[in-house]
Amino acid sequence: MTSLDPTSATRPDVSVVIPAFNEAESVGEVVRRIAALNIANEIVVVDDGSTDGTADAAREAGARVVRHSKNRGNGAAVRTGCEAARGEWIVMLDADGQHPAEEIPALLEHCGECDLVVGARAPGANVSRLRSFGNRGLIRFAEFLSQEKIADLTSGFRAVRREPLLEVVHLFPRHYSYPTTVTMAFLKLGREVRYVSLKTIGRRRTGRSGIRPLRDGLRFLHILLRLTMLFNPQRIFTPTGLFLLVVGSVWGVIQIVLRGGVFGSSLALILSGVFVFFFGLLAEQIAQVRLELGQLARRRPPASRPEEDSTR
């Protein structure tokens, strides 16, 4: 494991990214608690168009502040922070104090063994019953799509290696949920993901949460489906095609027994199932080609600039 001794030459190069919107009451304390740990080379606070003193409070506490001229959304703020950060590892946490800074070392202890470490809310953590129920449903669906075990899909407290993160940061939604996007993208790309159970994360300490269960639950489902279509579309098309094929075949048998022949509805279901199945195969090939082209582009050295004409 990577040593977290501040005097160690092998300690990880860490940037902390904190998205903040109207969090003047708490962001300063969060920054000071992180700084007191002496494990981060920089703390980047993204002021997402706040109308209070969020930027001033963060700057006075010692953070580097990046400002949006207007409120763009939580995901957009995190994307800005990740692109501005310079560390090899980026720790993400909220500005409202629900993610204790003192738990950051627990995440970084695993940074030598994986690409993403998620601070997972332990069973019985301080989360409302409605959100807990919704999170469990989303996790089960995400596990089906990714074929991986997921301890926590939506926790915003995490440490991630910057290089692979920049490969997927363009996929971040403007609002919620960038944690879902990061987790699913890393799983689909075959990156190593680890979960650290933490009982100390849960409800925000100040203000009100901007999450609306129904609206944002639908957004999360959309993100899951979109990422699966990008990286592994057969996981959606194959079950759908087989379902239509089976239903059409069963309905065809019933028609033969009851009416003496197969009619249009069953044939339409069977043909739809076949088309969906083979369309999934085609979509899978396109997804693989896109991933391979992206990997080739990232490995290609940047084009050298033409030398300036010294006679000018």
**Amino acid type, 301:** P
Output the CA angle 133-135-136, nearest 5 degrees. Answer: 65
Q: Over the stretch 232-272, which tens digit does the pLDDT of each residue have?
A: 788 888 899 999 999 999 988 888 888 777 778 888 999 99
**pLDDT tier for residue 292 given thresholds of 50, 70 and 90:** low
Written as one string, the DSSP assignment of 275-304 is HHHHHHHHHHHHHHHHHHHHHHHHHSPPPP
Residue 11 structure tokens = 């300690």
Is pLDDT above 50 for 3?
no
Strand partners, 43: 16
Is pLDDT above 80 for 132?
no
Average pLDDT over residues 164-182: 86
Q: What percent of the chain has pLDDT over 90?
A: 43
Is pLDDT above 80 for 171?
yes
Q: Over the stretch 13-53, which tens digit does the pLDDT of each residue have?
A: 999 999 999 999 999 999 999 999 999 999 999 999 999 89
**Of 291, 92, 233, 79, which Cα lies nearest the Cα of 171?**
79
Rg (CA), the chain: 24
CA distance 8 to 41: 14
State which of 1-10, 99-108, 215-224 shows the largest mean pLDDT: 99-108
Residue 196 structure tokens = 């650290």
Average pLDDT over residues 106-115: 91
Q: What is the DSSP letter of 122?
A: P
